[in-house]
Amino acid sequence: MENARIDAVVNKYQDIPIQKFGEGIDLRRLNMKTVAMTWVEMKEGYASPLHRHEDEQTVAVISGRLRARSGPQGEEVYCEMGPGDILTVPSNVIHQVEALEDAVFCEAFGPGPNLEKGIQTVYMRKQQKAAQKVKAAEQAEKNN
């Protein structure tokens, strides 16, 4: 039986497709079997939505400054981050990062990646519920 050879692969920055994550936030994401890695460029004044996800996450600041938020409304904890600082986010902890100046950071998600489910924000859940209600009403109308 011949052993299959698996080599390390260099993914060039310019070859990784940009995914827009709202205004002012560009992502370049790579998914492997057990980890997802994302290069993030965030413009000053922009922030990720307040969200949570199943995967654990680390955020390593490369340049610029971020304000990290953790915890639900009324129990928030804030911390400023600069180059070299690393934020660790356990599974399903509500969090957010905001760029205090133009910032570049890398995120790693694991043990997933479970990112096909995406992040869960209050706004997104409300949108999903509203869409489900519309679909159910349309189905009920068809059945009548």
Residue-wise DSSP of 24-64: TEEEEEEE-SS-EEEEEEE-TT-BPPSBB-SSEEEEEEEES
ω into residue 72 within 30 of 0, thus cis? no
Burial class (CB in 10 A: 0-12, 13-18, 19+), 42: buried
Q: What is the per-residue pLDDT for 65?
A: 98
137: left (phi over 0), alpha (psi -120 to 50) or beta: alpha
pTM of the model: 0.74
pLDDT of residue 144: 77
Q: pLDDT tens for the chain, 144 residues: list them.
A: 466 777 899 999 999 999 998 889 999 999 887 888 999 999 999 999 888 888 889 999 999 999 999 988 788 899 999 999 999 999 889 999 999 999 999 999 887 555 555 555 554 565 667 778 778 888 888 887
Annotated domain spans of the chain = 13-143
Cα–Cα distance measured from residue 49 to residue 32, given in angstroms and rounded to the nearest whole number? 25
Give domain 13-143's CATH superfamily.
Jelly Rolls (2.60.120.10)
Nearest-angstrom CA–CA distance, 32 and 41: 21
